[in-house]
Structure 1
Amino acid sequence: MRLATFNILHGRSTVDGEVDLDRFGAAVRALDADVLALQEVDRDQPRSHGADLTVVAADAMGAPHHRFVAVLHGEPGLWTAATGDHQPATASYGIALLSRHPVREWRVLTLPTLRRRTPVRWPGQRWPTLVRDEPRAALAAVVEGPSGTLTVVATHLTFIPGWNVRQLRHLVSQVRPLPRPLVLTGDLNLEAERPQRVTGMRPLATADTYPVAQPVKQLDHVLADGPVRADGRGRAVDTGLSDHRALVVDLRLGS
């Protein structure tokens, strides 16, 4: 089973600044993933031509089983929180999980959100900037693969230092009752071995994913708990889109 996680930047290329739906579909198709986790996904947004990017990706990779979870609705600059099972019918933005294999169960998991502005110092800045975070969520799918059942949990954690660790610890406690083997994946906004230390899970793919042109950080991760292992080395793929590379790894169930 091939798994990939990709922060798609709503399908935009940092080279020309454009969202091309055919290019986005071709990038997803080229990953050839059986299960794909997406972050920064638009639905019905003018900036991405009003498309449902989850459906575009599902058609491209041949994934009849997919779910989109909105964390915000409205258009950029006018966002409103929209987490949980009750999803808005208006323009929205969030995360998605897609599978070529049948999904026995879906589960939406909410994460703690910092409700106030907090100072963050960006690289190269002398003084911190006050920022407000968006709501965060995770999406779990119990996938019936050809070699057995695998639980896949996809998320996009905050960029706010310390708070992303709190969200990850909360998520680990939430997924404890879910079937094993389990893979936790997504843009965790945490570097190197930090996610492994926080979760106690094993990394299945080690490759720098950010920034896309010359990556020097691994912000995107695939972590495992239970009898599942990597079948070969994971790799970071420059799709020609986004400011992240996609992280791809082939999985084999069993010890």
Structure 2
Amino acid sequence: MRLATFNILHGRSTVDGEVDLDRFAAAVRGLDADVLALQEVDRDQPRSHGADLTVVAADAMGAPHHRFVATLHGEPGLWTAATGDREPSAARYGIALLSRHPVREWRVLTLPTLRRRAPVRWPGERWPTLVRDEPRAALAAVVDGPAFTLTVVATHLTFIPGWNVRQLRHLVGQVQPLPRPLVLMGDLNLEPDRPQRATGMRPLATVPTYPVGVPERQLDHVLADGPLHVSRPAVSVDTGLSDHRALVLDVALPA
């Protein structure tokens, strides 16, 4: 089963600053993933031509089974929190999980949100800036693949140091009842070895994914719990859009 996780930056290219839906569809199609986790996904946003990017991606990869979870609704600068369970009819933004194979069960999981401003020092800045985080969520799917059943959990954690580790540990507790093998993947905003220490899960990919041009850091991860091995090593793919590379790998059960 081929897995991929991709922070799509709402489909925008950092080269020309444009969102081209055909280019986005081609990028998703080129990953050839059986199960795909997407972060920073728009629905009905003017900046992405009012498109439902989850549906665009699903059509491109041939994934009849897909879910979108809104973590925010409204246009940028006017965000209001959304639950993901009862999504608003206004413009939305969040995460998505798509599968070519049947999904036996879907589950939306909420993550703790820091309710106060926190200091964050951005790259190249001397002094930290006080920022407020946005709501975060995870989406789990129990996928019935042709050879085995796999639980896939997709998420996008905060960029606030320390709080992302707390969210990850909270998420590990939430997924305990789900079937194994289990894979947790997404933009965790954590450097390598931190996710493994926080979860006790095995990393299946050690490849830099950010920034897209000459990646120096791995912020996107795939972690496993249970009998599962990598049958094709992970690669980070420059799709021609976003500020992240997509992370792609093939997994299988042990012989």
Mean Cα deviation higher: 137-146 or 125-134: 125-134
1:149 is aligned to 149
Q: TM-score by structure 1 length?
A: 0.99
List aligned pairs for 1:96-245, cutoff 5 A.
96-245=96-245
Q: CA deviation at 1:253?
A: 2.0
The answer to whether the 8 A contact 1:83-1:136 is kept is: no
* DSSP-derived class of the 1:232 partner: strand
Q: CA deviation at 1:88?
A: 1.2
The answer to whether the 8 A contact 1:180-1:225 is kept is: yes
1:42 is aligned to 42
Q: Distance in 2 between matches of 1:102 and 1:253?
A: 18
The answer to whether the 8 A contact 1:239-1:245 is kept is: yes
> For residue 117 of structure 1, what is the amino acid of its counterpart?
R
2:28 is aligned to 28
Q: Distance in 2 between matches of 1:142 and 1:253?
A: 16
The answer to whether the 8 A contact 1:186-1:220 is kept is: yes
Q: What are the superposed Cα offsets for residues 155-208 of structure 1, whole Å, 9 maximum, x if unpaired?
A: 000000000000000000000110000000000000011101111001111100
| 1:69 and 2:69 matched | yes
* DSSP-derived class of the 1:19 partner: coil
Q: Distance in 2 between matches of 1:200 and 1:11?
A: 33
List aligned pairs for 1:71-90, cutoff 5 A.
71-90=71-90
Q: Distance in 2 between matches of 1:254 and 1:154?
A: 23
Q: What are the superposed Cα offsets for residues 72-97 of structure 1, whole Å, 9 maximum, x if unpaired?
A: 00000000000231111111000000
Q: Distance in 2 between matches of 1:25 and 1:155?
A: 21
Q: CA deviation at 1:229?
A: 1.0
* DSSP-derived class of the 2:39 partner: strand
Q: Distance in 2 between matches of 1:245 and 1:31?
A: 11
The answer to whether the 8 A contact 1:42-1:92 is kept is: yes
Q: Distance in 2 between matches of 1:13 and 1:96?
A: 19
Q: CA deviation at 1:114?
A: 0.5
Q: CA deviation at 1:70?
A: 0.1
Mean Cα deviation higher: 119-128 or 245-254: 119-128
Q: What are the superposed Cα offsets for residues 91-137 of structure 1, whole Å, 9 maximum, x if unpaired?
A: 10000000000000000000000011111111221211010100000
Q: Aligned pair count?
A: 255
> For residue 75 of structure 1, what is the amino acid of its counterpart?
E
Q: Distance in 2 between matches of 1:253 and 1:239?
A: 29
2:59 is aligned to 59
* DSSP-derived class of the 2:138 partner: strand
Unaligned runs of 5+ in 2: none
The answer to whether the 8 A contact 1:42-1:94 is kept is: yes
The answer to whether the 8 A contact 1:230-1:252 is kept is: yes
Identity level (%): 85
The answer to whether the 8 A contact 1:228-1:251 is kept is: yes
Q: Distance in 2 between matches of 1:68 and 1:12?
A: 19
* DSSP-derived class of the 1:230 partner: strand
Q: Distance in 2 between matches of 1:249 and 1:221?
A: 11
> For residue 165 of structure 2, what is the amino acid of its counterpart?
V
